Structure formats: C-alpha cells, structure tokens
Structure 1
Amino acid sequence: MRKSQLLAGVLAPIVALTGIGTAILINRSWWRLTDNAISDLGKLDLPNNWVLNVSLVVSAIMAIYYAVGLVEEVSNTVEKLGIGVFIAGLAFLALIGLFPEGTSPHYYVSWGFFIFASLGFLVTGIGMGLSGEKELAVFSIALFTVGWALALWAKNSFPGIAPAEFVGVFGVIAWHYTVMWKKFRGAPRPRG
C-alpha cells in the first residue's frame, strides 16, 4: 500500500466527522440528534448544505483510495470480495453528498451506504478469519451483529433516524481503524 493511501485511510473518517460536526454546529438552532437525520444537514434547500455534502464526497473518495490499496494487502477471494462490497458502500457515501435529501435517489443511496459498508466489513472480516486472522473475524462478526441490533433499536426508539445512523457510522469507523491497526502496525513501511 502506498503511503498516500494509508494517509487517506487515516484522514477519511476525520474529514467526514468534521463535516458532520461542523454542519451540526451551523444548524444547532433547529437540528436535534433524536429528531432528525444526519442528511437533514445537507438537504437541498438548506443554506450551507455543502458543508455536509462536500465532506461526505471527499471522505468517500479518500476512503475508496485507501480501500483499493487494502485489496493488495489481503490474500484470499473472500477478503477481496468483501473489500469490493465495502468500496460499493463508500461509493454510496459519495452519492449521499451528490444526491442530498430532497432529491429522489437520496433515500436509496443512504440505505446503500449502510447496507453495503456493513456487509462489506462483515464479509472482509470473515475472509480475514479464513486467512488466519481469527481476532478480526470475531470482531467483524460481533460488530456487525451488535451494530445492526443497536441501530434497529435506535430506529424504533427515537422519532429521528440520526441515532441509528450514528451507530452505523461509528461501527464502520471502528472496523476501519481496527483493521488499519492490526494490518499496519509494525508492518514494513508503505511504499511511496
């Protein structure tokens, strides 16, 4: 993996979370965690909607660049398939920014991100288990199971969808950084 891909992997979640946090601050007069969706911060008619939408597109591009490099670091077909599904989820993340709330594809691309990103990390984790990385397999399966259970609970417990979305977002980020830590700490230096 190239150094630039590794750096993009480190920074991609930070870019997304910074954009979300900034959009929340800008819209704090009306936006509420339990009453809204994250996407409400980027809806079509909202002034400064670009803060959320641009950060999602940029972070998705950075994460895809990293994930393409990750394909070179894995050894079996199940891992590669999982990373491919995960990349599809990241493409849906970019589409959330390109088709914000208020456009007809928004609902579908939002679900696409959560479904494909979580299935991607689940399949990749199972593939890593097949390659002997049992801890990553157990972590991936547990995170997927607990994450979906918590997200469904949050979806049914609050009027807004943001709590469930944040469960999904933080699940993807936790998996991403855990894989980075396990795969690249103490590994040979990435090439230029």
Structure 2
Amino acid sequence: MKRGQLWAGILSPQVALGGIGIAIMINRSWWKLTDNAISDLGKVGLPYNWVMNVPLFISAVLAIYYAAGLFGEVKNRVFRLGIALFVIGLVFLAGVALFPEGTGPHYHVSWGFFLAGSIGYLIAGAGLWLEGLRKFGAFTVLLFTAEVLLARWTFRIFSGVAIAEFIGIFAMIIWHYSLMGTLLKAGFLGIKD
C-alpha cells in the first residue's frame, strides 16, 4: 500500500465527521439529533448544504483510494469480497453527496451506503478470521451485531433516524481504524512511498 493511501484512510472519516459537525453547528436552530436525519443537513434548497455534502464526497473518494490499496495487501478472497462490498458502500456515500435529500435517488444511495458498508465490513472481518486473525473476526461479528441491535432499537424510540445513522457510521469507523491497526500489527500492510 502506498503511504498516500494509508493517509487517505486515516483522514477520510475525519473529513466526513468534520463536515457533519460543522453542518450541525450551522443548523443547530432547527436540527435535532432525535428528530432528524443526518441527510437533512445537506438537503436540496438548504443554505450551506454543501458544508456537509462536499466533505462527504471527499471522504468517499479518500476511502475508496485507501480501500484500493487493501486489495494488494491481503490475498484472502473472502476479505477481498468484503472490501469490494465496502467500496460499493463508499460509492453510495459519494452518491449521498451527489444526490442529497430532495432528489429521487437519495433514499436508495443512503440505504445502499449503510447496507453495503456494514455487510462489507462483516464479510471482510470473516475473511481475516479465515486468515487466522480470530480475535479481529470475533470483534467484527460483535460490532456488527451491536450496530444492528442498537440501530433497530433507536428506530422504535426516536422519530428521527440520525441516532441510528450515527450508530452505523461509528461502527464502520471503529471497524475501519481497528482494521488498520490489526493489519499494521500483523504485518499485512507493506507501506511504500
């Protein structure tokens, strides 16, 4: 993996969360965590909707560049299948920015991001379990299970979906950084200039 790909992987979640955080601050007079969706911050016609949408797009591009480097590092087919599905989720994330709330494709790209991203990391974790990284595989299954159960619970409790969305986002981010650390420690990532 190229050093730039590793840095892209490190920075990608920070770019997305930074854009979301600034958008929340700008729209704090009406946006509520329990009553809204994250996408409400980037909807068509909202002043400064680009504050969230542009960082989401940049984050998706950075993460795809990072994920492309993973294909050359771990040869396990199950892991690669999971990463490919995760990349599809990242393409959907770029779609969330390109097709904000208020456009026809938005609902589909939003769900595509959460479904493909979460199932992708679950499959990739299974691939690493097959590579002998059993603790990381078990961690992946537990994280996925917690994500699904907590998100389902919040759908019943709150009128908005932002909390469930943040649960999904933070599960993917926790898995992503844990994967980086695990692969570096296990010697799977060979960093090149």
Report SS of the residue matched to 1:44.
Answer: coil
Shift of 1:156: 1.3
User: Distance between the aligned counterparts of 2:3 and 2:74, measured in 1?
Assistant: 17
Q: How many residues align?
A: 192
Shift of 1:186: 7.6
For residues 39-60 of structure 1, the C-alpha deviation after alignment (integer angstroms, 9 at most, x for no partner) is 0000001000001100100000
User: Distance between the aligned counterparts of 2:139 and 2:190, measured in 1?
Assistant: 26
Residue 26 of structure 1 corresponds to which residue in structure 2?
Answer: 26
User: Distance between the aligned counterparts of 1:133 and 1:93, measured in 2?
Assistant: 28
**Contact 1:92 1:110 (C-alpha < 8 Å) held by counterparts:** yes
Residue 72 of structure 1 corresponds to which residue in structure 2?
Answer: 72
Q: Which amino acid in structure 2 is aligned with residue 170 of structure 1?
A: F
Residue 123 of structure 1 corresponds to which residue in structure 2?
Answer: 123
Extract unaligned runs of 5+ from structure 1: none
**Contact 1:60 1:91 (C-alpha < 8 Å) held by counterparts:** yes
For residues 145-172 of structure 1, the C-alpha deviation after alignment (integer angstroms, 9 at most, x for no partner) is 1101101111111000000000000000
User: Distance between the aligned counterparts of 1:140 and 1:89, measured in 2?
Assistant: 17
For residues 82-109 of structure 1, the C-alpha deviation after alignment (integer angstroms, 9 at most, x for no partner) is 0000000010000000000000000000
Extract unaligned runs of 5+ from structure 2: none
Q: CA RMSD in A?
A: 1.1
Within-5 A mapping of 1:24-173: 24-173=24-173
Q: Which amino acid in structure 2 is aligned with residue 45 of structure 1?
A: G
Percent identical residues: 54
**Counterparts in 2 of 1:186 and 1:128: CA distance versus 1, 3 Å:** closer
For residues 58-89 of structure 1, the C-alpha deviation after alignment (integer angstroms, 9 at most, x for no partner) is 00000000001011111211011000000000
**Contact 1:75 1:131 (C-alpha < 8 Å) held by counterparts:** no
Runs of 4+ with >3 A deviation = 185-189
Shift of 1:185: 4.0
Q: Which amino acid in structure 2 is aligned with residue 157 of structure 1?
A: I
